[in-house]
Amino acid sequence: MKNLIIIFLFFKVITTFGQLDTALISKKLKDLDILLVPYNTELYINYEEVYLTKANNINSDKVNQTFRVSVDEYLLAELNKYCKSESMMNTHTYNPDDELFILYSKSSYFYDKAHNIDKNYLLFGSEKSKLSDKNTNSQKGELVDKISNNRNRFLNVKFSDRTFLSNLSKQFKTNYFLIITQFELKGDYSNPYAVGSMTYKRRMKIHFALFNKNGKYITGSFSYADFSAEQNNIEEIIHASFPNIASDIVNKIALDL
């Protein structure tokens, strides 16, 4: 009987897809001071952009920046439920543009095995397709590994200067870095009838990597949200998708701490 109670409590804390109870997340994150690093705008991949720019009457740079700022805002709000956090995008101590430029210039990117992927993720048809042909120059980071199947991978990052993150942690008085490495939006084009009627699914993915104050990699993965191609209002997409994405990223961090 005692063993049955233990098993029940275990499954109450961790659900089918590895979601932690909020009390356990609080316990794991309470002593953390996290510096959030927004994704480099060069690592923005959006196959659906033509529909979004037209529907919202804005250019591609504005779409990129809107998503980038919103990812930052929602993640910061979610992190602050459990621990102390700030973003490099809006720090008041240093010039954020200068600091981010330095960080991006020391970064190189590669695909790595993602942690804590739920089983529903693999049901999306276009996950079998090529991710991107996009390259960046060495000053803004490089994709050092191209793959044709990214179903179980995320975009990880490493730094040319091994002491860079440890020095940055002293500068910002933080003990962890949550680095958003990529924004990705693509459609499931496997059903030509759905594509023709604009009823196919889209998938938004946010890739991230967590490092400690010594620059040691802790964990990394991605979070995603699916929505219909019928939806092109950016603000509505953000409000519907980003709260769950932010919650899932924080949960995945807690799972590996």
Q: Once rounded to an integer, what is the mean pLDDT over residues 18-29?
A: 81
Q: Is residue 191 part of a domain?
A: yes
Domain tally for the chain? 1
- Quick check: 224 and 207 in contact, CB under 8 A? no
Q: Which pLDDT belongs to residue 152? A: 81
Burial grade of 185 (CB within 10 A; 0-12, 13-18, 19 or more): buried
Is pTM beyond 0.85? Reply is no
Range of the domain at 240: 28-255
Q: Once rounded to an integer, what is the mean pLDDT over residues 221-231?
A: 95
User: Highest-confidence range of 77-81, 113-117, 157-161, by mean pLDDT?
Assistant: 77-81
- Quick check: 109 and 155 in contact, CB under 8 A? yes
Q: Is residue 21 part of a domain?
A: no
Gap between the Cα atoms of 50 and 41, Å rounded: 17
The residues near 22 (Cβ < 8 Å, ≥ 6 apart) are none
Q: Six-digit token pair at 137?
A: 């120059």
Q: Is residue 94 part of a domain?
A: yes
Gap between the Cα atoms of 8 and 150, Å rounded: 35
Q: Is residue 17 part of a domain?
A: no
Q: Measured on CA atoms in the order 79, 86, 27, 118, is the torsion positive or negative?
A: positive
Greater pLDDT, 238 or 24: 238
Confidence label for 147 from pLDDT (cuts 50, 70 and 90): very low
Q: Measured on CA atoms in the order 24, 26, 32, 37, is the torsion positive or negative?
A: positive
Q: How many residues does the chain have?
A: 257
Q: Which pLDDT belongs to residue 94? A: 63
Q: Is residue 188 part of a domain?
A: yes
Q: Is the pLDDT of residue 186 over 80?
A: yes
Q: Is residue 129 part of a domain?
A: yes
Helix or strand (DSSP H, E) at 180: strand 176-187
Q: Is residue 2 part of a domain?
A: no
Q: Is residue 119 part of a domain?
A: yes
